[in-house]
Structure 1
């Protein structure tokens, strides 16, 4: 069920980031540029031969006051801890270096699948030189050129071939959700309060996310839920960047495993930049989202007016989450906590919702009648047909005369018309343009 994680590692200056960007740029199926969502190039979703995976670029780890060996060990250890498959990158221009051998020894002891990429093989004459890298003991070296995109197909074939098989032998029909947030928002208290409120705990299952537990429970209506634990995202002095990045990687794996993500805010402390950073990953992953404002009991004289003010603040700060419902709770007093399972189930239903093409095209006709398609450089966009091609999140394809004529504003208009016609509260939806064949 978990999305495999591929880590790109190696000593500095072998072209790790170039390889990472080349694979990401060619293989991300849908790229969305949404204002207000902070992105970090340390990770990306990618796809090869229909298999989706998440990639980590460890090239961002730099500790200039540390010796080279310490830096390499830190980088390799991240890969060992987080990845299902490791791509080790070496440079054909340098040959096999002592640092390469150090990395190879560390990775070899990890017992993780390792694929060796020999980078900067920019012409056929140099391919014979890759055989020197057999001495690293990591199996067949794959010659690639990150700059020119040569050899990536063979490399990615080798990567997906060693992906772990799905070990879930029993089909799980429970609703999977996770709670994410920065430290001190009361995530753990909410977890404990929810379990105490629902009382019927089925089991504690060792999750596929490392050092986390997935807890199953049944609510009073008999609905089954699996709560996916997440690692907290911390800020700690000078180690802020690296600490946050890799705690975030663990949280992101939990997000990938979830149907619905609860973004937890601290009512007393208000909204911080890290809150927006964290919430952006749930949106990017296409999960259902609920914004949970915890510790509402600590707000003095809280009433409908203060709730409305806080709601307006959230809407202004999280504009990309305009579809997400907001609920004000208190883990301490159990205020509105009993409403959470119902809301999670409702958002999951919307996340899986499928609309008939005939009904969808009635909405399309009405939308174009109310607001005709735009003229771009003298050409008018023509939308012939719309159909839903996926759920979780709901994804709609418009077949058009020229996708370049679909302006962002008209695409957003169509999304709003779809939302007005069908209840997609809590879930992002995607509208994509394709040229009619």
Structure 2
């Protein structure tokens, strides 16, 4: 029967401990000299050995999917050239006028968090959009208030910063309420910035309400565009006007380097310091930071220059409870955190050095492992720990995080930026591992030496053999074994551990799949 077991992803069960019902990791007896033997083997010898094993597979029942897996590795295409940054459209207005609803209408999907209470959006959040062939970036902002205090003042500051880097601004007003003193204050702010502004009269659901929109001429920004963000009424005409004003490329964004910046997601439980760290990395107050847990609700992305290169960092909402228990904006923020992780290449999980590992921390780590993304562990507030405490803390980390012992660790301070420069080498290590492919010859030579020194235990009078191995993909590295029978989960974990010891893979999960194949029946 043709079967592949894809449950062999290295989700990091601690060595020697059970993983669900899989049993403990296989423990070999005796020493081996695998590394020494591999070093003495030339690439040509390894290639010839692999070709012989590959030829032997023809004696087994193979399907079309097997043939695709066994085809020659195709190197990546030529890297694209540098690209200009698309123009930027900022959406601003006072709280609860429907900015995020309009953003969702513009981008054609429900991305921005929407809830029927004011102040759900707090940071400036970017989304890619397209209209009639024109690609541009839409920036959703928190509500702007000229006399705001505390966290609301910082939200308003983020909205002003969004206008600073915008090529065109959509100023959204609630037509059913009319122009308020806050709206007039926003107009003064926009005039100071000197950006092209389109006035949007939102919540105009039918013709009878268009008279309400006409009253907004008094703001002095020209003709208001009557729209209904909820129903989509008038948004096509609005986007036509937007595209006419947008330049070919952003006047403030510079150039995206060829291949694009590597994408990094910042994850952690609420109030662990993710936004503070992003601000330190960006060198500006890019994200609203407040003592209130859960300040960030939308994933906030920022191009950050570190180590002489551009990176795209995404600050995510803290995962505060199990998704089925979350509600309202917390629920949608949790969904968007998972979506941001799916779009990232490497996750930096921020942990509190002064606190024990929590259930939330474990759940976040598992989320990253399940996603197959590269992983870096960052321990915040390490600078506040005294030397004696650090020694014991290292031991606690080794014990509690044994299942991700392969992930690089960085000890830093999100608040002061202490040791933030150590993040880039850790990211490079994790991403290099995530991109690594073992040559087929070396992989099969390694497995041949490993199995010869430490054969799979006999089960029910049978001993499964590894016929051939290939790595069909990276990001994360995925290795497929063609075998004569199922390998014990503990033996698969043993193989993964030895793969790490031999080839590195620091910071990257490893997927190990099996294809159990039977010999062809001989024709008489």
1:313: Cα distance to partner? Answer: 2.0
Superimposed CA distance per residue, residues 62-114 of structure 1 (whole angstroms, 9 cap, x where no aligned partner):
xxxxxxxxxxxxxxxxxx8469xxxxxxxxxxxxxxxxxxxxxxxxx678xxx
List runs of 5+ in structure 2 lacking aligned partners. 21-108, 113-229, 233-255, 287-296, 519-524
Residue of structure 1 equivalent to 2:210: none
Residue of structure 1 equivalent to 2:402: 319
Residue of structure 2 equivalent to 1:433: 514
The match for 1:423 among 487, 498, 504 is 504
Q: Is the 8 A contact 1:393 1:428 kept in 2?
A: yes
Compute the TM-score of the two structures, normalised by the length of structure 2. Answer: 0.47
Residue of structure 2 equivalent to 1:178: 265
Residue of structure 1 equivalent to 2:184: none
Q: Is the 8 A contact 2:270 2:317 kept in 1?
A: no
Residue of structure 2 equivalent to 1:251: 337
1:345: Cα distance to partner? Answer: 1.8
Q: Is the 8 A contact 2:273 2:415 kept in 1?
A: no
Give the whole-Å Cα distance in 2 for the aligned partners of 1:358 and 1:191.
42
Q: Is the 8 A contact 1:415 1:429 kept in 2?
A: yes
Give the whole-Å Cα distance in 2 for the aligned partners of 1:306 and 1:361.
45
Residue of structure 2 equivalent to 1:291: 377
Give the whole-Å Cα distance in 1 for the aligned partners of 2:372 and 2:7.
11
Residue of structure 1 equivalent to 2:320: 234
Question: Residue 375 of structure 1 aligns to a residue in which SS?
Answer: coil
Give the whole-Å Cα distance in 1 for the aligned partners of 2:504 and 2:278.
28
Q: Is the 8 A contact 2:263 2:313 kept in 1?
A: yes
Superimposed CA distance per residue, residues 255-314 of structure 1 (whole angstroms, 9 cap, x where no aligned partner):
111111001011223321111111110011000111100011222x2x2x5334323323
Superimposed CA distance per residue, residues 17-40 of structure 1 (whole angstroms, 9 cap, x where no aligned partner):
xxxxxxxxxxx965769569999x
Question: Residue 389 of structure 2 aligns to a residue in which SS?
Answer: helix
Check 1:172–1:230 CA distance in 2 against 1; reply closer, same or farther (3 A cut): farther
Give the whole-Å Cα distance in 2 for the aligned partners of 1:374 and 1:38.
19
The match for 1:367 among 450, 456, 473 is 450
Residue of structure 1 equivalent to 2:23: none
Query: RMSD in angstroms over aligned alpha carbons?
Result: 3.5
Give the whole-Å Cα distance in 1 for the aligned partners of 2:310 and 2:273.
23
Residue of structure 2 equivalent to 1:394: 477
1:381: Cα distance to partner? Answer: 0.8
Residue of structure 2 equivalent to 1:413: 494
Compute the TM-score of the two structures, normalised by the length of structure 1. Answer: 0.56
Higher relative contact order (CA closer than 8 Å, sequence separation 6+): 2
Question: Residue 342 of structure 1 aligns to a residue in which SS?
Answer: helix
List runs of 5+ in structure 1 lacking aligned partners. 1-27, 40-79, 84-108, 112-168, 200-209
Check 1:264–1:214 CA distance in 2 against 1; reply closer, same or farther (3 A cut): same
Check 1:184–1:30 CA distance in 2 against 1; reply closer, same or farther (3 A cut): same
Alignment of 1:21-420 (within 5 A): 30=7, 81=110, 172-196=259-283, 211-220=298-307, 222-234=308-320, 241-242=326-327, 245-299=331-385, 301=386, 303=387, 306-402=389-485, 404=486, 406-420=487-501
Check 1:31–1:293 CA distance in 2 against 1; reply closer, same or farther (3 A cut): same
Question: Residue 425 of structure 1 aligns to a residue in which SS?
Answer: coil
Count of residues paired in the alignment: 272
Give the whole-Å Cα distance in 2 for the aligned partners of 1:357 and 1:329.
39
